[in-house]
Amino acid sequence: MTIIDETAESPAPDGSGDTGRPLLEVRDLHVEFHTRDGIAKAVNGVNYSVAAGETLAVLGESGSGKSVTAQAIMGILDMPPGRIPKGEILFRGQDMLKMSGEERRKIRGSKIAMIFQDALSSLNPVLSVGYQLSEMFRVHQGMSKKDAKVKAIELMDRVKIPAAGDRVNDYPHQFSGGMRQRIMIAMALALEPDLIIADEPTTALDVTVQAQVMDLLAELQREYNMGLILITHDLGVVADVADKIAVMYAGRIVERAPVHELYKRPAHPYTKGLLDSIPRLDQKGQELYAIKGLPPNLLRIPTGCAFNPRCPQAQDVCRTDVPPLHPVTERDGTELAGRGSACHFWKETIHG
């Protein structure tokens, strides 16, 4: 049986043929939470990587471990109750889990930045937006108050806040949700990080504003050649911006693929279910498909494939054996680059 070697170096996304190390590599990451009721296994062997200029979308239902993985990368997990019993998080080849607190903080401050869903609770309500942006430059780069303010206005311009110069002294609550999210993006960009992790950056916004903010993020990412990890449970959002997708279920990656291939030909029944539950304009009036059942309780993950109780294709082997991430191939055995499926019946799923 072939199992994907997740540690293999990936080709450069710019097509240059360079096979440099990815910017970030998560290897066999495990995270558990010690709770009163027992050990909740939130992340159970996640592998993914992202290169400079590349966007990885991480997808999955609520509770699948998307944010916990991101928190582990950022070094902001609550420990305790959280614990990382196993795994590596390599940033430019160096394991951040082995670094000192000081080294870690340096990377977190300037090399990896995070954008959260809820700007209102991430920004300080009693400080002006300009002050909060300026502070990034004053604290991290020792800039003078005056220079930092000029930079703050520049950044507000970059994220397309109209009349930035006039609004620099406004407070977070004086901005609309979409504008606040742009300010969050500005904060993340301030120190020109190599990698941005955006955790549901547009979920709280209405649909048209969502698209604008997502487009802006994608534009800036290209311009700065940053790596981007985009966490979402909305398949509709990622189609235009991501290069590749990792689908998570119960703390594992169940499928990974270049974005358009995943949409065209899913190789895991869970991905299939997610795709079938997207509303489509050409099927108006039809009842929307929903995956039956609920994600598992992480204190008692089902044996075998964690998805088996909800899977329309489940057989006996699915209830006993955990499926590894198989390479996905064409019918004739030609390997499909970057594709993998953790389903015993991936062939039947993709080729019918």
Binding-site ranges for Mg ion (CB under 5 A): 67
Nearest approach in angstroms of CB 202 to ligand ATP is: 13
Binding residues for ligand ATP restricted to 61-80, rule: CB under 6 A: 62-68, 78
- Closest to ligand ATP by CB, 22 vs 63, is 63
Report the candidate in 340, 304, 308, 337 with the shortest Cα–Cα distance to residue 323.
304
Binding segment toward ligand ATP, per CB under 6 A, in 35-43, 150-158, 169-177, 216-224: 35-43
Per partner kind, with CB cut-offs from 5 to 8 A, the member of Mg ion, ligand ATP, none near residue 33 is ligand ATP
Nearest approach in angstroms of CB 47 to Mg ion is: 19
The three-state secondary structure class of 133 is helix
φ/ψ of residue 325, rounded to 5: -80, 105
Type and span of the H or E element at 85: strand 82-91
Query: Does residue 60 belong to the site contacting ligand ATP (CB under 6 A)?
Result: yes
Query: Does residue 42 belong to the site contacting ligand ATP (CB under 6 A)?
Result: yes
Nearest approach in angstroms of CB 323 to ligand ATP is: 20
Per partner kind, with CB cut-offs from 5 to 8 A, the member of Mg ion, ligand ATP, none near residue 63 is ligand ATP
How many whole angstroms separate alpha carbon 239 and alpha carbon 176? Answer: 26
Binding residues for ligand ATP restricted to 76-115, rule: CB under 6 A: 78, 81-82
Contact 259, 85 (CB under 8 A): no
Binding residues for ligand ATP restricted to 245-304, rule: CB under 6 A: 298
Nearest approach in angstroms of CB 197 to Mg ion is: 11
Per partner kind, with CB cut-offs from 5 to 8 A, the member of Mg ion, ligand ATP, none near residue 184 is none
Per partner kind, with CB cut-offs from 5 to 8 A, the member of ligand ATP, Mg ion, none near residue 64 is ligand ATP
Q: Write the single-letter amino acid at 252.
A: R
Per partner kind, with CB cut-offs from 5 to 8 A, the member of ligand ATP, Mg ion, none near residue 269 is none
Q: Write the single-letter amino acid at 164.
A: A
Interface residue with ligand ATP, options 23, 26, 40, 96 (CB under 6 A): 40
- Closest to ligand ATP by CB, 16 vs 62, is 62
- Closest to ligand ATP by CB, 141 vs 297, is 297
Q: Percentage helix, strand, coil, to 5, in the chain?
A: 35, 25, 40
CB neighbour list of residue 150: distance below 8 Å, 6 or more residues apart? none
Query: Does residue 57 belong to the site contacting ligand ATP (CB under 6 A)?
Result: no
- Closest to ligand ATP by CB, 80 vs 142, is 80
Alpha-carbon dihedral of residues 255, 256, 262, 268, nearest 10 degrees? -10
> Could you give the residue ranges of the DSSP H alpha helices within the chain?
66-74, 101-110, 119-122, 129-141, 145-158, 164-167, 177-189, 207-224, 235-238, 259-264, 269-276, 316-320, 346-351
**How distant, in Å, are the alpha carbons of 50, 197, 199, 299 from that of 117?**
21, 11, 6, 26
- Closest to Mg ion by CB, 134 vs 202, is 202
- Closest to ligand ATP by CB, 256 vs 326, is 256
Nearest approach in angstroms of CB 67 to Mg ion is: 3
How many whole angstroms separate alpha carbon 54 and alpha carbon 161? Answer: 26
| 204 phi-psi bin (left φ>0, alpha ψ -120 to 50, beta other) | alpha
- Closest to Mg ion by CB, 67 vs 132, is 67
Q: CB count, 10 Å around CB of 275?
A: 15
Which stretches of the chain bind ligand ATP, using CB under 6 A? 33, 35, 40, 42, 60, 62-68, 78, 81-82, 233, 298
